[in-house]
Homo-oligomer: A and B are copies of this chain.
Amino acid sequence: MSDVCRWGILSTAGIAMKNWHSIAASGNGQVVAVASRDAAKAQKFIDECSASVPVPQPVEAIGSYDELIAREDIQALYIPLPTGVRKEWVIKAAEAGKHVMVEKPCGVTAADVQEMIAACEQNNVQFMDGVMFMHSARLPQLRSVLDDGKSVGEIRRICTQFSFCADEDWIGSNIRANSDLEPAGCLGDLGWYTIRMILWTMNYEMPTEVSGRILTGVKRDDSPQEVPIEFQGEMHFANGVSAVFYNSFRTQHQQLAHISGDKGYVELNDFVLPFYGNRVSFEAGSHEFIFEGCRFIMNRNLRTESVSEHSNNMPNAQETHLFRNFSTLVNEGRVDAHWPEITLKTQQVLDASLQSAHNGGQAISL
């Protein structure tokens, strides 16, 4: 038992700056060291983070991933490395007895994810992916609305869309359009969330059928394969529920989750990164159609459900919950098998939708 989980950050990806703050704000964790292949780069990262969010403890810059992994004074590693090179380091970390928080998409394939998870199981360390929205207080609130029997009722249809619009420079240079580093492109980067949201909604029931289509692909000179930068997928479930998702690097910010059932629907327009503020919300309820003689009226009857939670960075923001929840497991010496399980399911659906896309959209049975 310990009060503070001691973290190492392995790689200086942009998202790690945000999570420097998450760990600092968590109250039960602290960053001890940051590794890059170049110690100067690690130091620069630490300096930039410290200027934005100072921390009381010293943080060491390390010029080698292996060296960070070998440190005895670190219990947990946050690993936002590119997907194409991540597996090796996750397995090394697990074998060194380190708990691992892994950025998404977690693997190139579900087989890779299984290897990583197996290494974590064998070494009795926690595996968790870095999907922040899973840790928002909005989700239990949403679940209670989905389960109340009257707001949505029996679920029929789920539609999720997550996109941002990158410019040509980004498409031409970012790792997310390089098949060696991020082979699933926007499906890996954004589809991970849309698929996860659908699986969460379905209480992690797996679809019986998955299909996908690359709407736009990019084949860069430095990329062995084409990478999807605009993608659509479908999931069909045994009980007749259907879901569609859309991901794009060429469509401006949207984060739509629309879940409809036989009693009504819920809609989130910011399901991944909540809109800035101190309340996190969604719309719920049933429109009411009435007619009196010649008058046909559609009453809106939507209500806003909110939880008091900051959208980002604050001690009660979802990413802070993520790291706090992880540190709690580490500090209490527990391993929760739920987290690797949902990672694997997400990756399996992602794999199937990409496989379908590469086979002319033919449906894949799971």
Contacts and interface: CB of A to CB of B under 8 A. Distances in A.
Interface stretch (A171-179, A219-227, A284-292, A341-349): A284-292
Interface in A49-79: 49, 51-53
Contacts of A251: 156-157, 260-262
A102 to B, nearest CB: 19
Contacts of A263: 165, 252
A256 B265 CA distance: 11
Interface of A: 17-18, 20-21, 48-49, 51-53, 153, 156-157, 159, 161, 163-165, 215-216, 230, 232, 240, 242, 244, 246, 248, 250-256, 258, 260-265, 267, 269-270, 273-277, 286-289, 291-300, 302, 311-313
Contact of A298 (B153, B240, B274): B274
A311 B298 contact: yes
A92 B300 CA distance: 41
Copies of this chain present in the complex amount to 2
Given A17-B293, A157-B248, A260-B163, A299 B312 contact: no
Contact of A270 (B232, B240, B298): B298
A293 B240 contact: no
A212 B20 CA distance: 47
B295 A312 contact: yes
A294 B313 contact: yes
Contacts of A277: 300
Given A216-B240, A252-B287, A275 B262 contact: no
Given A157-B163, A230-B240, A252-B262, 16 more contacts: A18-B296, A21-B295, A49-B293, A156-B230, A157-B248, A244-B244, A244-B246, A254-B265, A255-B287, A256-B258, A270-B287, A270-B298, A274-B298, A275-B287, A295-B312, A296-B312
A161 B52 contact: no
A313 B295 contact: yes
Contacts of A265: 252, 254
Contacts of A255: 287, 298
Nearest to A15: B296
A178 to B, nearest CB: 22
Nearest to A265: B254
